[in-house]
Amino acid sequence: MTSKLLTIREVANILNLTEKEVVDLAQAGEIPAYKVGGVYLRFKKEQLDHVRHKIKPNESLVSIEGTAFERAKDFIYHNDFYIASLVIIFLLLYFIVTL
């Protein structure tokens, strides 16, 4: 019985990678791939299950590094638009209510 071969997009979704990363890994030989028609890359799901841990061994581990000040600084840096928007909204509400 033959199994369905997966496309680059399906493999990218399974491995949480971009399509370019999947193609690069296939070209480097880290992911076993097959060429269909000499052009299209296809993959077997059984083989992907074996190499998944080699590609991203610490995928489930989340590390929080830095001091509380550094984490707060990063939070403000990445969310500055939303913080500024909230400040402006509260100032507008304050002026509307007090008038």
pLDDT at site 49: 80
Burial of 70 (0-12, 13-18, 19+ CB in 10 A): exposed
Separation CA 56–CA 22 (nearest Å):
12
Q: What is the pLDDT of residue 57?
A: 55
Q: What is the pLDDT of residue 89?
A: 97
Predicted local distance difference test score (pLDDT) of residue 64: 55
What is the pLDDT, as a whole number, of residue 60? 46
For residue 82, the model assigns a pLDDT of: 92
- Nearest CA to 48 out of 1, 10, 21 is that of 10
So what's the pLDDT on residue 1? 47
Which residues of the chain register pLDDT less than 70?
Answer: 1-2, 56-65
**Global pTM value:** 0.52
